[in-house]
Structure formats: structure tokens, C-alpha cells
Amino acid sequence: MMSALDLNAAMTAGLMVAAFVTAVVHGATGMAGGILLAAVLTHVVGIKNAIPLTTCALIISHSSRVWLHRHEIDWQSVRLVGLFAAPGILFGAWLFVGLSATTVALVMAAFLICSIPVKLWARRQNLQVSDVLLGLASSVWGVLAGNVIGPGFVLAPFLQGRRSQSLRGQSRTLTRTEFVGTLACIVLGMNCIKLLVFSGTALLTFDGLWLGVALGLATIPGNWLGKTVLLRLNDDSHQHLINVMTILLSAYFFYQAAS
């Protein structure tokens, strides 16, 4: 596996194109773009180096999505998740530093697989998530979030079960655009915490930081294009797209763990 120092201009340009494409997916679904980018980087620099690089890129990517959806964010949910998840994120990121590459790949695959029954259970129960339930879920989610890229797959059912007020004052679940904006804001904070932890280790070098910034800048137009796709999707198509990507990415990381 190469390091960020070993990449030539052509490979760097190729990774920036990949960052743009994965950002289109991220903008359209609210999830999966980060883990897709991590999968691409894993092939080039290895999974242990891919996570810090992706974290850098996602800070810029999430910032652009927060701006695009700035009028649609459920700030109450953002505050609750941030408050209860932050200690777990710190602990999870600290744990990640000492994990082997095989363990990281297994954790990534396992959490993706586990997210599917969680989503199905939430849908069957017609889950309506109170502040208490969201806080408890966030406490557990935080530890997982510190270890992996793409933890939104597990938190998503709890956000989608939140109630919001429509313009007519009626209670309803979050819309697709509210969900994408709210999750982007939450995961932006998560990645900032992880970057602070990684910056004190050998996993994040100066060259790696600059590569992460370059990849992050490439995601900005992809996020804008992804939002236009999101506005054209219906709720069922949105969910089916996420489920298909979850299964494919799970298989990929199981393969990485075995190889």
C-alpha cells in the first residue's frame, strides 16, 4: 500500500474524481459517500490510513452540505446527539488508533450489516423518537462513530423517527432534505472530534492532511449535484438506494478483512 507521499499527480487527480463522484451519492442519500470514499482510499493507502484521510475530506464535504441545507436542519436533534455522543466519539477514536487493519475492516462490515435490521425494526415499529431515546441511542452510536466511517447508517432510523413541525404547525417526521441536512451537521461535529484525536498520532501526517483537504474541496460540486438528485427521489427510492449500498459495502469490507 502507498502513503500520501507516494501518490503522483495522476493518482491524486483520480482520487479527486472519485471524491466528486462519491459526494454526488452522499448529497443524494445523506449517507454512504464517506464510506465509498474510504473504500476507494483503502485500495490505495490501506484502511488504517484511509480513515484519517477520509475524515479530513468529510469535514469539508459535510460543511458544504450543511450550507446547502442550512434552512432545513433540526437543531434540537443536532444538540442532543452532540451532547450525548461526544464522549463516546472521543473514546471510539482513541480505540481506533490501536486497532489492526483487519479488525477495522471487520468492524466496518459488521456495523453496516447490523444497520439493516435496526432500520427494518424501526420501520415496523413506526418508531417515534423522543429526546430521551435519541440521547440514549446517541451515547451508544458515539463509540461506534469514533471507530468507523459512515456511522450515519445506524443513527439514521432514530433521526427519521423524529417529529418536526410543518409550516402549518402539524407534527410530522423529518423530510428527506431535513434528514440529510441534520445528519450532515451531526457528522460534521463528529469528524472534527475524530480529527483532533488523529492529529496527535502518526496516522495523520502533514501530507495526508493536505490530500484530505484536496479531496474535500472536490466534494463540494458533487454535493451540490447530489442535492438536485435528492430532490427528484421519492422516499421509497431513497431507502432502496441506501439499502443496496449498505449490502454491497458490507461485502466489500468483509473481503478486505479476509484478504
Least confident of 35-39, 155-159, 234-238: 234-238
Residue range 103-126: mean pLDDT, rounded: 76
Give pLDDT tens digits for 44-70. Answer: 888 888 888 999 999 999 999 999 888
With bands split at pLDDT 50, 70 and 90, how would you rate the model's confidence at 24? very high
Residue 31 contacts residue 22 (beta carbons within 8 Å): no
d(Cα 95, Cα 89) in Å, to the nearest integer?
10
Say whether pTM exceeds 0.85. no
Phi-psi region of 30 (alpha: psi -120 to 50; beta: other; left: phi over 0): left
What residues pair up with 163 in beta bridges, in sequence order? Answer: 173
- The pLDDT value recorded for residue 21 is 93
Task: Please choose, from the candidates 246, 256, 247, 251, the residue with its C-alpha nearest in 3D space to the C-alpha of residue 102.
Answer: 256
d(Cα 187, Cα 57) in Å, to the nearest integer?
12
Give pLDDT tens digits for 210-250. Answer: 899 999 999 999 999 988 888 887 777 777 777 787 787 78
Task: Please choose, from the candidates 11, 12, 24, the residue with its C-alpha nearest in 3D space to the C-alpha of residue 214.
Answer: 12
